[in-house]
Structure 1
């Protein structure tokens, strides 16, 4: 039985992963953005190991999430599931990109640094990360014109590189990135072609399995098959440059 924390577990892939892991008998710590959003977990919370609250768009609240998790106990695994795709019509300002970067990249980075180190770390990336190689000096989109798809792709590229950097620097931790596919969640839309069950199966497997392939760190996965990520994400020099940039933006050093 493993102790597992899942970010963004009120709906979609995070909720599906939580349901599966709880059903398997694992102790799962759930996460909701707010007390209001936590109401969506009413059916799962009695069988969970607790619920932590906090908005990943906020650095202060992200640190609070880490503190809440640490107060519960050391996790065996953390699944960095939470993610957003900002719609231009809803947020036609640079703040939209700031939210995308904060939730998809800065929050996983900060939580990795502050949560007591688990045995396994799983980060949700995307197949779109392959078109997300971008300039690190403008990671926060202060110079470029608004591009929602590009911002999302870059954020998922950075989190894939983060997962691989952790695998390189922390040999005692099994760290992986996962492409869950284009699945029919609120973000993916009802017409998404991939299967929701397959969308969460890889990360729950990586969080708990002792299969020989699951315990070799530094993988990028799609539907339980190891794949090649974007070449830049595997480049140690790029990883180190990215880690330095994220440290500058968050005030938190990871390595």
Structure 2
């Protein structure tokens, strides 16, 4: 039996993943962004799941989530499932622009740095990561004209790069990224063409399997098969530049954040 944290568990892929892992006898820690949303986890808490609460759009609340998780004990695996999609039809204020970056990239980075180091880390990405901007100019969209779709692509390039950088820097951890496909969740929409059931199975498998191929850290997976990875995400120089910027934004450096 493994102890596994899943962020963004109140609905969609995170909820499906939590259900599947509980069905298989694992101890699951689920996450909701608010106490109101935590009510949607009652079916899982009734089966023994523990709950942590905090809005991953806030770095302060993300730090609180890390503290709550550590009070529960060391996780065997963490599935960084929570994510938001950029909204090109909405015209948010400048303060809203960092939300996509914060939830999709900064929160998993900060949780990676602050939570007691697990044996396995799984980060959710998208095939759209291949369209991410690898210039690393203006990550927080403070000067660029807002483009929600591009912000999403960027954030997924960054979190994919994070997964591969962690695999390189932390050889004692198995770190992967997973593209669940375009699935009909609330974020994906009803017109999504991929299989919702298949969408969560790869991350639950990676969190628990002893398959030798899955033990080879630093891959990107889709439907339990390795898939294509943007060249930038594999570039060591780009990885280090990105981690330096994320450290500056969050005031947390992975090499300094390990807890034993």
**RMSD (Å) for aligned C-alpha atoms:** 1.0
CA distance in 2, matches of 1:49, 1:189: 27
Q: Which residue of 2 aligns with 1:218?
A: 218
Equivalent position SS for 2:187 = coil
Q: Which residue of 2 aligns with 1:76?
A: 76
CA distance in 1, matches of 2:57, 2:37: 15
Q: Check the 8 A contact 2:97/2:142 in 1, yes or no.
A: no
**Displacement over 3 Å in runs of 4+:** 88-91
Provide the aligned length of Structure 1 versus Structure 2.
Answer: 255
CA distance in 2, matches of 1:17, 1:4: 10
CA distance in 2, matches of 1:201, 1:64: 28
Alignment of 1:136-155 (within 5 A): 136-155=136-155
Once the two structures are superposed, residues 210-241 of structure 1 have per-residue CA deviations (whole angstroms, 9 ceiling, x without a partner) of 01111110010111110120000000000000
Alignment of 1:1-255 (within 5 A): 1-255=1-255
Once the two structures are superposed, residues 131-155 of structure 1 have per-residue CA deviations (whole angstroms, 9 ceiling, x without a partner) of 0033213111112111111000000
Cα offset for 1:91? 4.7
CA distance in 2, matches of 1:186, 1:174: 29
Structure 2: gaps of 5 or more residues: 256-260
Q: Check the 8 A contact 1:125/1:179 in 2, yes or no.
A: yes
Q: Check the 8 A contact 1:131/1:153 in 2, yes or no.
A: yes
Equivalent position SS for 2:213 = coil
TM-score calculated relative to the size of structure 1: 0.98
Q: Check the 8 A contact 2:134/2:232 in 1, yes or no.
A: no
Structure 1: gaps of 5 or more residues: none
TM-score calculated relative to the size of structure 2: 0.96
